[in-house]
């Protein structure tokens, strides 16, 4: 198994608690954003340049939040050779609610049945796109607490992001991320370095319990996102300066102290603006910035501005996006692979960005780096924290295994099926008309789903949902139409084993929310 959880949890504080393994799932079909621009009769570039999006993954009526999470959990367990009795905590972060009482976590417990392990703490955590981060913090805190029994924690973040027809629809997407948490992790949480901001706002919310669509105040949502970023960065910076003072260091903290920076990504252009926003913060908080040369050259005219008055200031935005362009290319752009190609996944969005960084670099390039992570959820809740990558990047190390497991992301993205905007629109209409129906049999075909994907087979007259799994081998007969967990003998023995074969493809804004 990856990592090395001790037999007993007694003794000193567990060392280097963090992310040991990750698995990512996204739908097997997508719509091209350039084609969607034409279909929606909007100016060319509105989605592709204005939002920075190329493709958007979406789910048919065969997939829901339960099936997404079933898929990503079983894939993580199989690909890492994990037994289900090695998990002591399982928590799900999601805002895709299909039941007001029963948690997604309880549905996932069906995967544990063959192992006999029912001693698994945790339930669902919900607050827009922040739920996955809250679940991750809970898992880390559990491992570092007196409640820990020496087993791993498993965190799942999953969502289906859909919008009504209009300017926000191209910022949709779907997917799920599963993360194995424990000690001696290749991605360890830096203790004490979290900056959090919590406030009340109606920027994005879902008051209609029978609809998947949110109510969005796009401008307010962006203002909330950027103001939360300002405040979280300020708290984080103060905490790291306090740590340095205790260590008798007077070194000034700046963006250069991060090897990589990843952000919750509703759309890629907002992420680019967010990095520029952090440079604005560095500039305003520097005691004596050099405006003659370097990153701050030519920015002296902005020395006395007030950050809270600049959320929609085009001059400030343009100047600092230009000033931060090199940093963006180096520290943040690699994180946007999944966001650009699959769209907004809500709770897993920022962790899709983290997975993208791991997929776009070698173990040696990542070793020893500090990764800044900004997580935002509307309503609103936000945290900026950091992970420290282990120095050990030798073959077979935890970092090497983690990076290797994500190295196929581009292959998987390019193996999806492209569908026309008209088909996409019909699929959204079908979801809209059948969402939360009882006595419903999904209409979409399961043939295009990736091997190993769980899917919805029926909803009975009491709203009880049943699922089946596509076989890992396309030549095998379909599994019975019920949730079925694997036995230990079915687990893939090697963490380095490649993903199952994926079917080949059949074809080659500001109004958006920041949820």
Q: Closest Cα partner for 132 from 348, 302, 419, 410?
A: 348
Angle at 243 between CA 242 and CA 245, to 5 degrees: 65
CA distance 259 to 248: 23
Give residues with Cβ within 8 angstroms of 299, minimum separation 6.
Answer: 283, 289, 291, 319, 320, 323
Query: Is 147:83 a contact under the CB 8 Å cutoff?
Result: no
Query: Is 160:59 a contact under the CB 8 Å cutoff?
Result: yes
| DSSP summary character for residue 490 | G
pLDDT value of position 11: 56
Please report where in the chains the tokens 């984080």 appear, as a residue. Answer: 236
CA dihedral of 164, 167, 173, 177, whole degrees rounded to 10 = -110
pLDDT value of position 139: 98
Q: 3-class SS at 23? A: strand
In CATH, what number does 18-470 get? Answer: 3.40.47.10
Q: Is 410 annotated as a binding residue?
A: no
CA distance 493 to 489: 9
Q: State CA 93 to chain mean position distance.
A: 10
Give start and end residues of each alpha helix (H) in 187-267: 218-246
| DSSP summary character for residue 115 | G
Q: Low-confidence residues of the chain, pLDDT below 50?
A: 1, 3-10, 475-511
Q: State CA 108 to chain mean position distance.
A: 19
Structure-token pair, residue 309: 């008055």
Q: 3-class SS at 254? A: coil
List residues with catalytic annotation. Answer: 95, 129, 264
pLDDT value of position 248: 76
DSSP string, 265-331: -SSHHHHHHHHHHHHHHHHHH-SS--SSSSTTTT-GGGTT--GGG-TT-HHHHHHHHHHTHHHIIII
**Helices 398-405 and 349-359: angle between axes, nearest 10 degrees:** 110
pLDDT value of position 512: 65
Query: Is 221:515 a contact under the CB 8 Å cutoff?
Result: yes
Domain boundaries, the chain: 18-470
Give residues with Cβ within 8 angstroms of 273, minimum separation 6.
Answer: 226, 317, 321
Q: Is 221 annotated as a binding residue?
A: yes
Pairing type for strands 18-25 and 173-182 reads antiparallel
Q: 3-class SS at 22? A: strand
How far the first Cα of the chain sits from its last, in Å, is 35
pTM of the model: 0.89
Structure-token pair, residue 113: 């049945």
pLDDT value of position 488: 28
H or E element in which residue 139 lies: helix 131-143
pLDDT value of position 296: 93
pLDDT value of position 243: 87
Q: Closest Cα partner for 449 from 487, 416, 424, 408?
A: 416
pLDDT value of position 473: 75
Q: Is 322 annotated as a binding residue?
A: no
pLDDT value of position 495: 32
Give residues with Cβ within 8 angstroms of 12, minimum separation 6.
Answer: none
Query: Is 453:67 a contact under the CB 8 Å cutoff?
Result: yes
């Amino acid at each position: 198994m990856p990592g090395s959880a001790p037999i007993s949890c007694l003794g000193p504080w567990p060392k280097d608690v963090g992310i040991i393994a990750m698995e990512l799932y996204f739908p097997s079909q997508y719509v091209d954003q350039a084609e969607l621009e034409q279909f929606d009769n909007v100016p060319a570039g509105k989605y592709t340049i204005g939002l920075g999006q190329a493709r958007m993954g979406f789910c048919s009526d065969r997939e829901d939040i339960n099936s997404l999470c079933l898929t990503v959990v079983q894939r993580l367990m199989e690909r890492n050779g994990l037994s289900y009795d090695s998990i002591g905590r399982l928590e799900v972060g999601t805002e895709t609610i299909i039941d007001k009482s029963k948690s997604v976590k309880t549905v996932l417990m069906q995967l544990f049945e063959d192992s006999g392990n029912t001693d698994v703490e945790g339930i669902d955590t919900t607050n827009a796109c922040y739920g996955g981060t809250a679940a991750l913090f809970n898992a880390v805190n559990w491992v570092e607490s007196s409640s820990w029994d020496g087993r791993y924690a498993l965190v799942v973040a999953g969502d289906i992001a859909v919008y009504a027809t209009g300017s926000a629809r191209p910022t949709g997407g779907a997917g799920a991320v599963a993360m194995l948490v424990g000690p001696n992790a290749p991605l360890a949480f830096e203790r004490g370095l979290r900056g959090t901001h919590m406030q009340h706002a109606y920027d994005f919310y879902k008051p209609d319990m029978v609809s998947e669509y949110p109510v969005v105040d796009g401008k307010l949502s962006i203002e909330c996102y950027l103001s939360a970023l300002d405040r979280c960065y300020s708290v984080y910076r103060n905490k790291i300066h306090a740590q340095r003072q205790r260590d008798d260091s007077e070194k000034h903290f700046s963006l250069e102290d991060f090897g990589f920076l990843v952000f919750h990504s509703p759309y890629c252009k907002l992420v680019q603006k967010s990095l520029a926003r952090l440079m604005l913060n560095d500039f305003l908080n520097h005691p004596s910035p050099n405006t003659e040369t370097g990153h701050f050259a030519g920015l002296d005219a902005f020395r006395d501005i007030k950050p809270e008055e600049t959320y929609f200031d085009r001059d400030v935005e343009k100047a600092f996006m230009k000033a931060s362009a090199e940093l963006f290319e180096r520290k943040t752009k690699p994180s946007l692979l999944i966001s650009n190609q699959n769209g907004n996944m809500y709770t897993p969005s920022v962790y899709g960005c983290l997975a993208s960084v791991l997929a776009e670099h070698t173990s040696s390039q990542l070793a020893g780096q500090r990764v800044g992570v900004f997580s935002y959820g509307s309503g609103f809740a936000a945290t900026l924290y950091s992970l420290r990558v282990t120095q050990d990047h030798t073959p077979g190390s935890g970092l090497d295994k983690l990076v290797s497991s994500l190295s196929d992301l581009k292959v998987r993205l390019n193996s999806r099926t492209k569908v026309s905007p008209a088909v996409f629109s019909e699929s959204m209409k079908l979801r809209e008309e059948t969402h939360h129906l009882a006595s419903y049999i999904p209409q979409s075909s399961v043939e295009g789903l990736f091997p190993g994907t769980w899917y919805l087979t029926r909803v009975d007259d009491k709203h009880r949902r049943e699922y089946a799994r596509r076989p890992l081998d396309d030549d095998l007969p379909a599994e019975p139409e019920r949730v079925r967990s694997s036995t230990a003998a079915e687990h893939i023995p090697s963490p380095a084993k490649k993903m199952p074969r994926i079917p080949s493809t059949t074809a080659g804004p500001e109004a958006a929310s920041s949820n």
